[in-house]
Chain A
Amino acid sequence: MSNTPSDLYYAATHEWARLDEDGLVTVGITDHAQESLGDLVFVETPELDKAVEAGDACAVVESVKAASDIYAPVGGQIVDANARLQDEPELVNSDPYGEGWIMRIRPDDPDDIERLMRADDYEHMIEQEEEG
């Protein structure tokens, strides 16, 4: 069973988001997502300073099985990207909620994150998906 920390927010497209004390939202992909994708071989990190709306595709992860878009869970401006992933995409597999973070967004509205799912809803959604 994959790990779904209860202090994070989740998008239906399998990103996690966390509102940090500095007002920025850190984004990555969930443990379930990295497990489904398999070993990552490449991460295309987002363009810095770019303005995005919630749901915009802004990064790409590529595994031995598939390439998959990463969508911004909240609208705002992308202010940081995890440069280590260029050479070490495997960090997303080994530590999806920590060193494998993908980007940081300055949200247009800090309350936007409340529109995402909490851990139990996200887990429920995964179960539904798997039942087909």
Chain B
Amino acid sequence: MRDDPLIFDQSQPGRRALAQAPLHAPAVDDIPDELLRREPPGLPEVSELQVVRHYTRLSQKNFSIDTQFYPLGSCTMKYNPRGSNALAMLPGFLDRHPWAPELHSQGVMACLYELQEILARVTGMAGVSLTPMAGAQGEFAGVAMIRAYHEARGDRARTEILVPDAAHGTNPATAVMCGYTVHEIPTGADGDVDLEALRQALGPQTAGIMLTNPSTLGVFERRITEMARLVHEAGGLLYYDGANLNAILGKVRPGDMGFDVIHMNLHKTFSTPHGGGGPGSGAIGVGERLLPYMPVPVVAKEADSYRWLTEADLPRSIGRLSAFMGNIGVVLRAYVYARMLGREGMARVAEFATLNANYLMHRLRDAGFQVWFRDRRASHEFIISLKREQKELGVSAMDFAKRLLDYGFHAPTTYFPLLVPECLLIEPTETETQEELDGFVEAMVSIREEAARDPDYVRGAPYTLPVRRLDEVRAAKRLDLKWTPPGAGDGETEA
């Protein structure tokens, strides 16, 4: 494949796409003079066809769920139905101004209200706020509410959040951002949280615990209700990270397990496009105790009309997380998806996600790969360790991951969770066919055969992509983030 020049490198002075230039420059006369630009911005000067070709070619290089199997563990890269996109882009939604008054926004508010209700029911929570704009913001909102709750009770001695070492990787960062110290709880050999260690860690300093269930190890935490009882007895609250909600959707509810607050990645479980940094939606759900602290706005229904709940209605709210109503286009897609599924469809999501994961796990195990928790049923994802392949063939999990790209598969998550050496975390999702899963197994077997014949060949992969192996140390230490005109340095930034 030819290496494409940057759009900037294609620039020629004076070249332009006249058809796209506005006929009349808009009159702008109220911008203070000192803020006006003296020189035009350094935009590339290219023809319309150059623009079309450049971006079409770049888009064809994407690995995406629309082109390839994408079993990236802990990320739920499932198909995003076109129907959700089409309906979320109806002109009434698309053209509505965010400042439009409630009276003219009843349609969109009805959708948001119904989504709040659907999410509250399917997770067993008392209330839902849709405003967090990403999973990380949902997590932040969740722990901020735990903090607000303790502070409102004058319970200021609670300074610590417990995080199992099999938790989602972002959880410790969230706790620290909310001003807590993190206490890690180890995992037992069976993949469940070490209950004795939890018991010993709990105390008057415990603000709460952050958990993913099923955990990042791909197994369901079996003693969750007992854990909830212990944490509540110590005066702490339970936070549910929704990263793995796809595994239990419509089957088990976090509210019934004893969780006080959850965040949901609507961009994962409710199937809106994600990856590459957004836009996301990290809706949160709360139990009765945390209802007063929800981030605003929230939609309320009164008689037959809808209105925004703001700081005036929820004076103890942790506040606003975005200028308006989160990433409303993503939220609307999730609403359409939820309505298309219905109550029965939600359970089928979990059933097929789990079935696909267990099918793939069994096939890989039968093919001789080491499944990490061999005695446990997989949830919607599972782990294999390539420790043996590394030892005997000198080919690592990273080499397998790179070579999979040549076979036309996006690599699973590599080297996470950290507890398992040379691991791949594999999440096929419910939307893949059996043939696709079989193809993945065949590729894994074929790569292992290649490694036995010629390990250097596998270590050199990928061969078919525009970019080969990267210098990862340099990529992490010296960031190459911006285009620099020729002769103006290398454009790299010290990380």
B272 at the interface (CB under 8 A from A): no
Q: Are A41 and B418 in contact (CB under 8 A)?
A: no
Query: Which B residues are in CB contact (< 8 Å) with A130?
Result: 387, 421
Which residues of chain B have C-beta atoms less than 8 A from A115's C-beta?
none
Least CB distance from B473 to A in Å reads 5
Q: Answer whether residue B420 sits at the interface, using C-beta atoms and an 8 A cutoff.
A: yes
A68, B418: Cβ atoms closer than 8 Å: yes
User: How many chain B residues touch the partner (CB < 8 A)?
Assistant: 15
Q: Mark B412-424, 1 if CB is under 8 A from A, else 0.
A: 0011101011000
A131 to B387, CA, bound (A): 9
- Beyond A36-B421, A41-B477, A129-B421: 15 further Cβ-contacts under 8 Å? A39-B472, A39-B473, A41-B473, A42-B476, A42-B477, A42-B495, A64-B476, A65-B414, A65-B415, A66-B416, A66-B418, A130-B387, A132-B372, A132-B387, A132-B420
Residues 164-192 of B, flagged 1 when their CB comes within 8 A of A and 0 if not, give 00000000000000000000000000000
B370 in the interface, Cβ–Cβ < 8 Å? yes
Docked Cα-Cα span, A123 to B393, in Å, equals 22
B385 within 8 Å of A by Cβ? yes
Across the two chains, which residue of chain A brings its CB closest to B475?
A64
Nearest 5 interchain pairs by C-beta: A64-B472, A41-B476, A65-B415, A39-B473, A41-B477
**Which A21-43 residues sit within 8 Å CB-CB of chain B?**
36, 39, 41-42
B373 nearest in chain A by CB position: A132
- How far is A130 from B414 in the complex, measured between Cα atoms in Å? 17
Contacts of A65 in B (CB 8 A): 414-415
Chain A residues at the B interface, C-beta cutoff of 8 Å: 36, 39, 41-42, 64-66, 68, 90, 129-130, 132
A contact residues around B473 at 8 Å (CB): 39, 41, 64, 90
Interface core residue of A64, A90, A132 (most chain B CB under 10 Å): A132
Measured between alpha carbons, how far is A92 from B415 in the docked complex, in Å? 20
Provide the residues of chain B in CB contact with A132, threshold 8 Å: 370, 372, 385, 387, 420
Residues in A whose Cβ lies below 8 Å from that of B476? 41-42, 64
Question: Can you list, as one digit per residue, whether each of B342-384 has a CB less than 8 Å from chain A (1) or not (0)?
Answer: 0000000000000000000000000000101000000000000
Chain A residues, Cβ within 8 Å of B416? 66
Q: Complex Cα distance A90/B414, Å?
A: 22
* Residues on the A chain within 8 Å of B415, using CB: 65-66
List 9 A–B pairs whose Cβ atoms lie within 8 Å, in order of A's numbering.
A39-B472, A39-B473, A42-B476, A66-B415, A66-B418, A68-B418, A130-B421, A132-B370, A132-B372
* Set of chain A residues within 8 Å of B385, measured between Cβ atoms: 132
Q: Considering the chains assembled together, what is the distance between the CA atoms of A65 and B418 in angstroms? A: 9
Task: Give per-residue flags for B466-477: 1 if the beta carbon is below 8 A from chain A beta carbons, else 0.
Answer: 000000110011
